[in-house]
Amino acid sequence: MFPTRALLARSVWKGPNIVPLPIQRVAPGQKVPPIMTQARSATILPNFVGLVFQVHNGKNYVDVEITEDMVGHKLGEFSPTRKPFSYKQSKNK
């Protein structure tokens, strides 16, 4: 993920980055299956709230449940791409 690209915000006149995602409208009461996607740069729109996405991080798909706070952000911010750094001293002398 490129933090500077997220922070250098997209011009308002262009509108949000809308990506065609397969969102199903099911009858209320039925569960919606998680939506698998590789579109990490898709902006989260208000009609995504409550859905579960599986966002690709290069290797596998990470479950992301969308809440109301997340609306202006992109899907890729919630799916980390790198393992956190941990230093292990090797036992070889």
Partner 1 sequence: MVFILGNNFLENRLLKHCLETFYGIGTKHSTRILAKFSVFPGARVGQLPTKTINDITAELSTMTIETDLRRKMRDNIQRLRDMGSYRGRRHAMGLPVRGQRTRSQILTARKLNRIDRAN
Decide: is 78 part of the binding site for partner 1 (CB under 8 A): yes
Residue 54's DSSP bridge partners are 36, 63
Decide: is 73 part of the binding site for partner 1 (CB under 8 A): yes
Question: Which one of 10-18, 24-32, 53-61, 62-70 is the stretch in contact with partner 1 (CB under 8 A)?
Answer: 62-70
The region, left, alpha or beta by phi > 0 then psi within -120 to 50, assigned to residue 50 is left
Using CB under 8 A, pick the residue from 34, 45, 80, 86 that binds partner 1: 80
CB of residue 66 to partner 1, shortest distance in Å: 10
**Residue 44: exposure state from Cβ atoms within 10 A (0-12, 13-18, ≥19):** buried
CB of residue 5 to partner 1, shortest distance in Å: 8
Decide: is 4 part of the binding site for partner 1 (CB under 8 A): yes
d(CA 5, CA 16): 14
